Amino acid sequence: MARQNKTRSNQADPAVFIANIDDEQQRRDAEQLTEMMTNATGAQPVMWGGSIIGFGDSSYTTSDGVERGWFHVGFSPRKGKLSLYLMTGFDEYAEHAGFDPQPYLDKLGPYKTGKSCLYIKRLSDVDMDVLRKFIAASYEHQTNE
């Protein structure tokens, strides 16, 4: 059974959260990501904590072996960047999702990655088809495990 995270799903309305984003570009990007992730997952957006919008219901195992509740894919509009949570991570794509991510990353545009995060400044900077591919592959991997 999954233990609870400090960051948990809640009843807050993602549309209200997005409507209250001060930066107009980030607000539009958040609206577009919400639509993109809803289409890719078939799941409705759910707030996680105060600033993450997640799609789907999943879990992950921490490095110390603890299973935690989480979402399949999600994002957060952070100061000066968008953080996209693609829970398969980037090192695992070639092995688990059936394709090498590097050709797609080469085409994406400016980005940074973390273990399971893709950081971009704004959607207009990246190739949206490539981004859709990452979102769909991450979700597919999560739901087919």
**Domains recognised in the chain with CATH numbers:** 14-143 (3.90.1150.200)
For the chain, the distance separating the N- and C-terminal CA atoms, rounded to the nearest angstrom, is: 17
Structural contact between residues 129 and 30, judged by C-beta atoms closer than 8 angstroms? no
Q: Global pTM? A: 0.85
- Model confidence over 99-109: pLDDT tens digits? 566 777 888 99
- Model confidence over 43-81: pLDDT tens digits? 999 999 999 999 998 777 777 888 877 888 999 999 889
